[in-house]
Chain A
Amino acid sequence: MKNKSIMVALAAIAITTALQSCKPKDSSNAVSGDAASKVYVAPGKYDEIYNFVSGGFSGQMSCYGIPSGRLLRVIPVFSVDPEKGWGYSEETKPMLNTSHGFIPWDDLHHVQLSKTNGEADGRWVFGNANNTPRVARIDLRTFRTAEIIELPNSGGNHSSPFITENTEYVVAGTRFSIPPDDVNGDVPIDSYKQNFKGTLSFISVGKEDGKMDIAFQIQCPGVNFDLSRAGKGVSHGWFFFSCYNTEQANTLLEVNASQKDKDFVMAVNWKKAEEYLKAGKGRKQAVRYAHNVYNEKTHSATSEIRTEVTVLDSKVLKDICYFIPCPKSPHGCDVNPSGEYIVASGKLASVIPVFSFDKIIKAIAAKSFDGEFEGIPVIKYESALYGEVKKPGLGPLHTEFDDKGNAYTSMFVSSEVVKWNVKDLKVVDRAPTFYSIGHLCVVGGDTKKPYGKYLIAYNKITKDRYLPTGPELSQSAQLFDISGDKMKLLLDFPTIGEPHYAQAILADVIKKNSLKMFKIEENNNPYVTKGEKEAKVVREGNKVHVYMTAIRSHLTPDNIEGIKMGDEVYFHVTNLEQDWDVPHGFAIKGASNAELLIMPGETCTLKWTPDRVGISPMYCTDFCSALHQEMTGYIRVSPAGSSVPISFGTGKTPAAPVK
């Protein structure tokens, strides 16, 4: 008996040990003792860094403080956002217009901060709509989406919105090749090789105002363009795209696009493309795409459908595009701070190839080619290769850089960050991530002058990292201290949507420019009400325009009569406050659309179609003062054809005029 129980105990110990050793690494061991103090930002203190994170399938972008991991703001971009009225107010609806009409929900994958001299300048941040191809520009004075441009000839805008070192261009490469927009697309799907084309869009960005315009497109062979990066420093003037599915498969890509040992990185000489464009070598193509702009002075957006784009043919104009073989289904395509090294990560490859820009240029000059692919020269692998990082881990995806000559590559399959030296290509450290890292971000990690210090891992799987919330979990980011030789895990923090790429920038660059409110004097909204004297209700046929003001703590007018069934009522609410952080909200019973949230000095419009006779209350939805609960009003709705006249007001006695 005694022996038996000892045996049981031993077996139990053995099983426990075995179970523990099965776990890849215990996450509790991964955190060092001083982690808490490194991420603690005392109440009332600011974070050191802004982190702009893609919201993935939420279609939005979020902004976090680093090192605390506190969510500072969700910036609505490609999806409606009831919290902010984005896509609901009449003024913002045009921002989500496309050639397909109004699209309420898209998928935002990558963010890029605008750059000057290869460094993030904190003026704008760009994001891509992956589904219905678009690029958005967000103004970092207001943290609002200022402009959205749609991309013709594209499907799945994935290798986007990557930026040249002075924000000359934002680039967008199509993930799905498709037949061009101006030909009959009613073709068999298996005619991919004959009929499908890949398109790279070069969107110019206004130096002062940031205005976007499709300067030109480059038509390329039908493959999948995955990710891209601009050259910088020595390689400024070039762009690098990863391509997969060079098998040109159109079904079961999981198998059929994974046949070849090598796919490609495409090097694009965009300075040369500019020359061809100037020389008139482009073809004008009839297309349809939306260009939406938000005007900060009128507090409203306009959407215009454009109908022409200039296309350069990579097959005909020989010296724009070159393929470089790259093992195997490359995903990330990242350029180091000096611009000399291009790191391509083959998702299915066991090495990370690092290409040398100097060698690429020499190979092109010496015509060191290995034939052509679809009419485009293929540079010999060895002629472009600087070297390979051997045995880096499994499933390399993306690479960012620090200020000490190191690269950090995310390893999806082996779920780790691998730090390696760019010069000697030796792995110097590994840190496990929880779980299955996708993108990663080093502060300034894609610029000419990385700041280093922190690395943030954006993980694809959350599982047991937080208290369970049913089948659907928030997404998971992890903060690492990379200031020393070894990476140290500091913090987990949840994110909205699926975080794909993210960028981080020192807070000082942005916070000094942050706008506090909109000046009421500069409000040029056609329906602005500048002071309660101008408040009114105007009937135009069955449309009723309510010119309303909001100030702590009343709406003017707050009693409105004479509305009839069949009317469309537009509440144009102007917030008369001129102080920081005093928004007012507006809601009315039965509004099938949404509510409004109006910033100081701004005018927003809610459309309301009454559906029944009676009294409808309305009120301010944002707690604004001790008398917020008093910030209310009533609307009387009468039957169609009623003789109740339009009347309105707030309070009983009008202010006595001054003589």
Chain B
Amino acid sequence: MNKSTLFSTIVLSVFISSCGGNSTKTTETQATDQTEASSPDTYDPKRGQGKFTAESIALTDKLDDTKAKAGESVAAVKCTSCHKTTDEKLVGPGWKGVTTRRAPEWIMNFITNPDPMIDKDPEVQALLELCLVRMPNQNLADEEARNILEYMRKNDGLK
């Protein structure tokens, strides 16, 4: 990253955090939506922050195609305006390979509880510098989030 890009990234980041009262909104969301208290020191970058754990999801290595199909239709309304299923970036990063890059509990926490994770997760913050749009909270129900995860796994080739 050369100096001028670094500079503009910083300027833009400051701009993002100062515009539209995003920071107060984040606080509000944290206060109402956060299911567990977690300070930046205790943030677990593998699991993310939210209600899901590896145990609670209890994945098997076989695809549940019913879930995946349901996930695909939810994604069509709430996700694919911004995410392609290839590795190409649209507004946000493409989904190809996401299930190998991130733990399933991280994915489910992020898509149901994005605001605190955007503020804390170092990798998400790096992505924000690229994408410049905070991933919106699309108010996914738990089941919808689980179905989207299955759709992502299918997209990554799980049978």
Asked if A656 CB lies within 8 Å of chain B CBs, one says yes
Q: What residues of B have a CB within 8 angstroms of the CB of A531 in the complex?
A: 76-78, 80-81
Per the bound structure, the CA–CA distance linking A581 and B137 in Å amounts to: 11
> Is B78 in contact with A576, judged by CB distance below 8 angstroms?
yes
Given A552-B136, A578-B139, A658-B72, answer yes or no on A651-B77 (Cβ-Cβ < 8 Å). no
> Is B133 in contact with A627, judged by CB distance below 8 angstroms?
yes
Asked if A626 CB lies within 8 Å of chain B CBs, one says yes
Asked if B82 CB lies within 8 Å of chain A CBs, one says yes
Q: Which of B136, B154, B155 has the most CB of A within 10 A?
A: B136
CB distance from A498 to the nearest CB of B (A): 32
> Is A582 in contact with B19, judged by CB distance below 8 angstroms?
no
Given A517-B139, A578-B136, answer yes or no on A556-B154 (Cβ-Cβ < 8 Å). no
> Is B81 in contact with A551, judged by CB distance below 8 angstroms?
yes
> Is B91 in contact with A554, judged by CB distance below 8 angstroms?
yes
Per the bound structure, the CA–CA distance linking A403 and B9 in Å amounts to: 58
Given A44-B24, A626-B19, answer yes or no on A658-B78 (Cβ-Cβ < 8 Å). no
Chain A residue with the shortest CB-CB distance to B27: A44
Query: Which single member of A576, A582, A626, A651 contacts B12 (CB below 8 Å)?
Result: A626
Interface residues of A in 309-334 (CB under 8 A from B): none
Per the bound structure, the CA–CA distance linking A552 and B137 in Å amounts to: 12
Chain A residue with the shortest CB-CB distance to B134: A625
Asked if A220 CB lies within 8 Å of chain B CBs, one says no
Given A579-B137, A655-B84, answer yes or no on A626-B15 (Cβ-Cβ < 8 Å). yes
Q: What residues of B have a CB within 8 angstroms of the CB of A581 in the complex?
A: 25
Given A531-B81, A556-B81, answer yes or no on A626-B132 (Cβ-Cβ < 8 Å). yes
Asked if A224 CB lies within 8 Å of chain B CBs, one says no
Asked if B20 CB lies within 8 Å of chain A CBs, one says yes
Query: Which single member of B25, B78, B86 contacts A655 (CB below 8 Å)?
Result: B86
Given A623-B19, A656-B86, A658-B154, answer yes or no on A579-B136 (Cβ-Cβ < 8 Å). yes
Asked if B85 CB lies within 8 Å of chain A CBs, one says yes
Given A531-B81, A656-B84, answer yes or no on A578-B137 (Cβ-Cβ < 8 Å). yes
Interface residues of A in 35-56 (CB under 8 A from B): 44
A-B pairs, top 4 by smallest CB distance, nearest first, are: A531-B76, A531-B77, A578-B138, A578-B139
Q: 18 A-B Cβ contacts within 8 A? A: A517-B139, A519-B139, A521-B77, A551-B81, A552-B82, A553-B133, A576-B77, A577-B138, A581-B25, A582-B136, A625-B134, A626-B12, A626-B15, A626-B16, A627-B132, A655-B84, A656-B85, A658-B151
Chain A interface (Cβ < 8 Å from any Cβ of B): 44, 517, 519-521, 530-533, 549, 551-554, 556, 576-582, 623, 625-627, 651, 653, 655-656, 658
